Amino acid sequence: MDLDFSEDQQLLRRTVRAFLEQNCDKVFVRAMETDGRGYSPDMWRRMADMGWLGLGLPEEYGGSGGSVLDLVILHEEMGRVLCPTPHQSTVVLCGTAISLAGSDEQKHELLTKIAEGKVIMAFALPETDGTWQADDVKTAAKQNGDGFFINGRKMFVHWAEQADKLLVVARTESKSDPREGISLFVVDTRSAGISYTPLLGTARDKQAEIVLENVFVPAKNQLGKLNEGWAVVEKALQWGLVASCAQMSGGCDRVLQMSTTYAKERVQFDHPIGSFQAIQHYLSDMATECTGVQTLVYRAAWTLDEGLPANKVVAMAKVQAGDSYRHVAAVGHQIHGGLGFTLEGEMELYSRRAKAMQLSMGPSLVWEEVVAQEIGL
Amino acid sequence: MNFSFNEDEEKFRQYVRKFLEENITPEVKLDTIRNHSGGAHAKELLQKAVKAGLLGLTFPKEYGGKELPPSYEFIASDEGARLEAPEWPSFKLCARTLINYGSEYLKREYLPKIMSGECELCIGFSEPEAGSDLANLRLRAVEDGDDYVLNGQKVFTTAANAVELVWLLARTDPDQPKHKGVSLFIVDLKSPGITVRPMPTMDGGQTNEVFYDDVRVPKRNMVGERGRGFYYAMSALQSERHLVFATGRAEAQLDRLIAWARETKHNGVPVSKDPVVRHAIARLATEVMTGRGLEAKVLSYVLKDQVSDVWASMHKIFGTQLEQRIYDTGMSLMGAYGQLRADSKYVPQEGEFELMARRSVVWSIGGGTNEIQKNIIARTHLHLPQT
């Protein structure tokens, strides 16, 4: 039982934190909320230079190697400062799927580009119910000659409009078990027949509805075994969820830090408000919640890295992180008082994102059901 | 990063589990509730547990210990929590302090008896005017020849009705600041002048008031230095807290709730298929896993021999509130039947949740209230200003 990080991991965290301190202040975060692109290509290039766009991807295809725990470190730091970046969708979700399912040629083609920062990808899985589960996948891909025609509608796809390519999860065969008959396709975002509608959410992040009308995808862009794509999605989703939970954990920690600092500085009734027990207990409870989420996320990453069955712990991490981030942010607002409510403060940046992240990648109810199944109910 | 125990530790866990499963009988459980550690059946269990090598695992070999790492001590406590073994504070809170600070005389006189299970200690700290504010205690110890003479009263001295000795905090130096004028003694409960009065508790058990009227305790029965008693007591509580509040019990009770949901049917359909039931139990399971993480955090510091107070406080707050939620939820999901007691007709699950709901009230209060734990976190972890 040992919760220490290795020297390399500690170095990674220090390096990432320093980089983000230099390049991702709140002025930048706010600017990206109304920016058409929503991220900085310059930052993306520099992340590529640091090897972070290859983190978790196999070295033989240009990746940097590394474990889920390494990705957690990166994403925890990014979440701490609310860094707007298509890293999770490109590198973790799509990158993992391509690593698992791609042919040698596809991996050489795509993974290298990802690691070099030459391609942004969006993971086009969720549809109408936004649950990220197999039974929500109704988008169909019909084989025709040397390719497939895809018809359907995706919802809540992060970075869809900003991406160069989509990884589309579509149904190639209708089976009684919705997890069967699913295939994966790498689709150019500017293909004929695709249209996008931006979804305007509380976090002011980049999400879109994608309508696919007879979108042609050449056979060489189909990824992995036909009709057996869901197993790949599940694995990529595990990694993607843990990265998202890591961001939430980082956000929780920053809210705790900000709130504690504020409580020490804000003086009312001749005392710092941090000396009042109501505030102290809010913060102690927050610290307990933050530590709880953090250790659960680390456990989920460790479980995946050990190759142990991880469905239960990943689902639990998602449920706990979503709820705790939301709750911690609410208490953070209480502590910050009026200042937190205005745009002068940073609190509202965190609370909006906390809610959006809780509802993204499947809301709590969906993952609670996964937990219920895993514990034998 | 490693969330698992090693193979030897896992083997030890199975060994402890097997022993406890075979030896914790309903009679033992009844004794545990009534007397915590004391009572004839509980005594028998203690001595068997000692022989089986379940206690004193980390103590030096010269005192009968095994010098095993703290993970073994935790595993034994965790399995004990799971199967509702007695808490055995003699080992958890007293013996280590005796080893670290007791005189050679005291170690020779008492350690072998404690380690063999022949003698047990109850904890004599709290008083009517000294709960969370323990430093406010008033029981006086006045020097008289080779003895101290004790006068005063203790409250919540659980198991005083059943054990041989009391681990007692008394004020030896009223002119000193409150927390510096207190000393620690080992007192024979058979001493003349000691009266034990039962205080029945809401879980069907009891704790005790203990009155000390001119009770003589030999000076050599003082543990460690005069005036350091408060410090000894606090540091023992802080370093052992994770053992007293191990997550095993919450896990075992959650398993019971899952089993109930699977076995119980409404209109022919298992209750476990009801979305409301699934949501409630899945949440509890997630929280138990989170509690285990907080516990892992404590252990990771304990195993490196680093200060773990703050993490132990977090774990205690979270775990005790979670347990109360588990029992409350269990009773709620059972509907009207949730209120039935063990001896009632139609009672589900042997009335376990109803009983545990009554037992668990004290856990967010005893061993340092959750509010005090929050104060500790605020002060020592977040460094918030104190008034």
CA distance A261 to chain B (A): 9
Enter the ipTM: 0.92
Q: How far is A169 from chain B (nearest CA, A)?
A: 28
Q: Could you say which residues from 183 to 202 on chain B have a Cβ atom under 8 Å away from some Cβ of chain A?
A: none
pLDDT above 70: percentage of residues in chain B? 98
A288 close to B (CB below 8 A): yes
What would the pLDDT profile of B16-25 be if each residue is shown by its tens digit? 999 999 999 8
**B258 contacts in chain A (CB < 8 Å):** 375-377
**Whether the Cβ atoms of residue B378 and residue B384 lie closer than 8 Å to each other:** yes
Percent of chain B with pLDDT over 90: 83
Element counts in chain A: helices (H) and strands (E)? 12, 10
Would you call A376 and B262 a contact, using CB atoms and an 8 Å cutoff?
Answer: yes
What pLDDT, on a 0 to 100 scale, did the predictor assign at position B81?
A: 92
Give the pLDDT of residue A298: 98
Give the 3-state DSSP-derived string for chain B, with helices as H, strands as E and coil as C: CECCCCHHHHHHHHHHHHHHHHHCCHHHHHHHHHHCCCCHHHHHHHHHHHHCCCCCCCCCHHHCCCCCCHHHHHHHHHHHHHCCCCCCHHHHHHHHHHHHHCCHHHHHHHHHHHHHCCCCEEEECCECCECCCHHHCCCEEEEECCEEEEEEEECCCCCCCCCCEEEEEEECCCCCCHHHCEEEEEEECCCCCEEEEEEECCCCCEEEEEEEEEEEEEHHHEECCCCCHHHHHHHHHHHHHHHHCCCHHHHHHHHHHHHHHHHCEECCEEHHHCHHHHHHHHHHHHHHHHHHHHHHHHHHHHCCCCCCHHHHHHHHHHHHHHHHHHHHHHHHHCHHHHHCCCCCCCCHHHHHHHHHHHHHHHHHCCCCCHHHHHHHHHHHHCCCCCC
Contacts of A270 in chain B (CB under 8 A): none
A-interface mutation test, from B2, B71, B290, most A Cβ less than 10 A away = B290
pLDDT of res. B37: 53
Indicate the pTM of the whole model: 0.94
A7 lies within 8 A of chain B by CB: no
- Does residue B38 have a pLDDT over 60? no
Among the partner residues A4, A287, A316, nearest to B377 by beta-carbon distance: A287
For residue B89, the model assigns a pLDDT of: 86
pLDDT at residue B244 in the model? 83
Stretch B200-224: mean pLDDT, rounded? Answer: 95
Which residues of B are known catalytic residues? 240
Q: Share the mean pLDDT of chain A.
A: 97
Mean per-residue pLDDT for A317-341? 96
Q: Which chain A residues are within 8 Å of B71, Cβ to Cβ? A: 1
pLDDT of residue B35: 56
Are B293 and A292 a contacting pair at CB < 8 A?
yes
What average pLDDT score do residues B62-74 get? 93
Judged by a CB distance cut-off of 8 A, whether residue A266 touches chain B is no
- pLDDT tens string A138-156: 999 999 999 999 999 999 9
Out of A280, A320, A377, the one facing B286 most closely (by C-beta) is: A320
CB contact under 8 A, B296 and A295: yes
pLDDT confidence of residue A132: 97
A vs B: CB pairs below 8 A: 145
- What confidence score (pLDDT) does residue A322 get? 97
pLDDT band, residue B199 (cuts 50/70/90): very high
Contacts for B151 with CB less than 8 Å, ≥ 6 apart = B139, B140, B142, B212, B213, B214, B215
Chain B nearest CA to A274, separation (Å): 6
B256, B294, B382, B386, best to mutate vs chain A, most A CBs in 10 Å: B382
Q: B274 to chain A: nearest residue by CA?
A: A377
Judge: A299–B289 Cβ closer than 8 Å, yes or no: yes
Question: A316 and chain B: CB distance < 8 Å anywhere?
Answer: yes
